[in-house]
Structure 1
Amino acid sequence: MDAGRRRVAVVRTLLVVLGLTVAACSPAEQPAAVRLPPVKAGFDYQLGGAYGPPDGVEVVSRDHAAAPAAGRYNICYVNAFQAQPGAEAEWADLVLRDANGDPVIDEDWHEALLDLRTPDQRERVAAKVGAWIDDCAAKGFQAIEPDNYDSYTRSHGLLSDGDAQAFVRLLSAHAHEKGLAIGQKNTSELAGRRQENGLDFAVAEECGEQENCDEYTAAFGDHVVVIEYTDEGLATACTRWGGSLSIVRRDRGVVPEGAAGYVRKTC
């Protein structure tokens, strides 16, 4: 073993001793130490508005516009693959358009998909999302959650999973440079590629409802955060994976505590 490889081996050993994880990276990147969310931890999903974490909560996910919760492990949400409703103009020519020139829309959330078909387009989108990641790091978040990794499945064949993976690799490299872990949001069909894509843990919506949490654990082990939106989904997730994963049931609007419609339950 040459001196360079010995040094890497020593660094990796020290990081394990310190309880840190070495983030996956391509051969051209320098390894970055990131801290993963604690497993089987109390979790709260606060995308609809920040509020004081309930007792027992160790991990909180909040929008990048919010401040992290003091004394908790904080995941920073960014809508990385689609434009927020009404924000298409901010993305200009980076909005994905069909043959008629119309924006391709995620009908469930009324969000325009972003055009990730070329390296140049991916770099330009990543530059804007990267600024949000920088803000997350500056605020003190420990990880990011880039949403809509699976937007290619709603693109009417205009985007491929290869486009999505090439783009997420740009985000993971940037997150790791900032010392942040990065979670794979849903998209269980690509979980087996998590190492080459630089993804550290998973954020899975409704894997209890869909009975497929094991598709995430097969790739990420116990580093899976689960959000359910129905009592039935919560019951299944808790029965089958409650002994090892972080699981919460929230209302679909993920509204703040005290707001109409607020729901939060755990195993």
Structure 2
Amino acid sequence: MRRVLLLVLLLLATGCATTPEPDHGPSASRARWQPRPGLAWQWQLSGRLDPAVDVPVYDIDGFDHPKSTIEDLHRRGRKVICYLSTGAWEDFRPDAAEFPRSVLGRSNGWRGERWLDIRRTDVLEPLMAERLDMCRAKGFDAVEPDNMDGYLNRTGFPLTAADQLRYNRLIARLAHARGLTVGLKNDLPQIPQLVRDFDFAVNEQCAQYDECAELTPFIRAGKAVFHVEYELSTGRFCPQSRTLGLSSMLKKYELGAWRRPC
């Protein structure tokens, strides 16, 4: 008994009794970034990236840019969001062949893209985990998962609101497990159920369709709403955006470098 007690005291004295925390990579050990309402941003998914726009947040394509691009934006003081499609398949992505035909549905209206059967998490979870691993490895601060509202569209699958809630929460958990902040893209009807699971929102055309007030749960929670319009002049949506606290700008549909912020 005395030998056991001495051994325990020795272990405590040397710190050997403490089990080290496992290392899950550089993102897992840092506090997640929380974008606050009103942050200006740039959203560029096409064309040669312009890194000189004087805003604190950039949202760029996760596949198209190497780690050095994210490092350059960080040196310029930017936080960087990794754009990914998590609800639709894209035939031009390097992992496109890994998606079985059974999970591919109707076109989502964009060339080369088809809705995914989000009920098949047995197939999609590991594929999305790999994509989020890529975002983390490149040094992104956050992720914008796109096409998160398949249940509201003609996907070719009988998707329900419950299916969408489960899938969206899965994506949020996968992102958070990797230290990534995650945004809810569109899916306005489910904001009340999902505002606690997501750290910010990304919205297209809420002003055109008179829906911007539906995003206020994010603002009340102290979470940014990154918003774009394509067809309205800034004079028609910026006053409301300022009142609501949205981070709004006018963009062209191709989402190149051009922007006109509120």
Question: TM-score over 0.5 for the alignment?
Answer: yes
Distance 1:146 1:240, change over 3 A: same
Corresponding residue number in structure 2 for 1:266: 261
Partner in structure 2 of residue 48 of structure 1: 46
* Residue 81 of structure 1: aligned partner: 87
TM-score by length of 1: 0.74
Q: Confirm or deny: 8 A CA contact 1:192 1:219 kept in the other structure.
A: no
Q: Distance in 1 between matches of 2:198 and 2:102?
A: 24
Say if 2:57 is the partner of 1:59: yes
Partner of 2:114: 112
Give the whole-Å Cα distance in 2 for the aligned partners of 1:182 and 1:94. 28
Return the index of the structure with the highest Cα Rg.
2
Q: How does 1:1-267 map to 2 (within 5 A)?
A: 33-49=31-47, 51-65=49-63, 66=65, 67-68=69-70, 69-70=73-74, 71-85=77-91, 89-96=97-104, 103-117=105-119, 121-154=120-153, 155=155, 158-195=158-195, 198-221=197-220, 223-232=224-233, 234-242=234-242, 244-255=245-256, 257=257, 263-267=258-262
Which secondary structure state, in structure 2, belongs to the residue aligned with residue 83 of structure 1? strand
Please state how far the C-alpha of 1:110 moved relative to its aligned partner.
4.8
Q: CA deviation at 1:50?
A: 5.3
Q: CA RMSD in A?
A: 2.3
CA distance in 2, matches of 1:245, 1:195: 15
Q: Distance in 1 between matches of 2:52 and 2:36?
A: 17
After superposition, what is the alpha-carbon deviation per residue over 1:1-57, rounded to whole angstroms, capped at 9, x for unaligned? xxxxxxxxxxxxxxxxxxxxxxxxxxxxxxx94212243122111112452334431
Partner of 2:7: none
Residues 151, 160 of structure 2: 8 Å contact kept: yes
Amino acid at match of 1:254: L
- SS of the equivalent of 2:88 reads coil
Distance 1:209 1:188 in 2: 14
- Which string of whole-angstrom CA distances, capped at 9 and with x for unpartnered residues, describes residues 92-135 of structure 1? 14424xxxxxx422135552111122xxx213212111111111
Structure 1 unmatched runs, 5+: 1-31, 97-102, 258-262
Q: Distance in 2 between matches of 1:54 and 1:213?
A: 29
Specify the code of the residue in structure 1 equivalent to 2:193.
R
Change (3 A) 1:59 1:238: same
> In structure 2, how many angstroms separate the alpha carbons of the residues matched to 1:42 and 1:163?
33
User: 2:36 & 2:177 partners in 1: Cα distance?
Assistant: 21
Distance 2:246 2:81 in 1: 16
What SS does the aligned partner of 1:113 have? strand
> Deviation string for 1:49-95 (max 9, x for gaps)?
45233443111101112242222011111100101146664411442
Distance 1:176 1:194 in 2: 14
In 1, Cα distance between the equivalents of 2:56 and 2:214? Answer: 24
TM-score by length of 2: 0.75
For residue 186 of structure 1, report the CA deviation from its aligned partner: 0.4
Contact 1:207/1:237, CA 8 A, preserved across alignment: no
